[in-house]
Amino acid sequence: MLIEVKVKVARIIDGKTRKRTETFLVERELFSEAEYAVMSGMTQEVELSTVESFEIQSLRISPIKEVAEQFISESALSTYIATLKDLWVADDGTEKHLKYKVLLWAEDLTQANRNVQQLSRVGYDMQIEGIKQVDYEYLRNQENE
């Protein structure tokens, strides 16, 4: 299950403390495991003096249904959420749709669009409804255990 963890962080950047809210996407089965994974990572950053303080603000089940890890690369540093829409006709003749959100990486919006088009053709056959850039940190299941 993908869990979004929002953390209020006071980061030390160029000798100055800057406060902001960061979102982590964590692949865990329990909220407590997700919270522990983020807290472990943030505690390491406190020890390295890159973070002055942090506070977990919220945890929720993410609307993101899939993480497109095949697009993770060193050059693709930006994260995007793509919304795909699947349309079908139900037995009663009404048109139904299902929205499907995917987290992916790309260098820029143009590459993100190409990646989403590739995803929509391979096994999905869905329409692309939108792509937006987000500032998410993704923690894989094997990290911080």
Q: Which residue has the tokens 């329990």?
A: 30
**What is the phi/psi pair of residue 93, to 5°?**
90, -5
Cβ atoms 84, 100 nearer than 8 A: yes
Residue 31 binned pLDDT confidence (cut-offs 50, 70, 90): very high
Which residues make Cβ contacts (< 8 Å) with residue 78, sequence separation at least 6? 105, 106, 107, 108, 112, 133
pLDDT at position 144:
40
DSSP one-letter string for 3-35? EEEEEEEEEEETTEEEEEEEEEEEE-SSHHHHH
- Residues 51-64 pLDDT 10s: 999 999 999 999 99
Report which listed range, 43-52, 54-63, 69-78, 111-120, is most confident: 54-63
Kindly state the tokens that stand for 31.
């909220």
**Between vectors from CA 5 to CA 32 and to CA 62, what angle results, nearest 5°?**
100
- Residues 74-92 pLDDT 10s: 677 789 999 988 887 888 9
Specify which residues 62 forms β-bridges with. none
Mean pLDDT value across the chain = 87
Report the share of the chain in percent with pLDDT over 70.
Answer: 92
Q: pTM surpassing 0.85? A: no
pLDDT at position 53:
92
pLDDT at position 12:
87
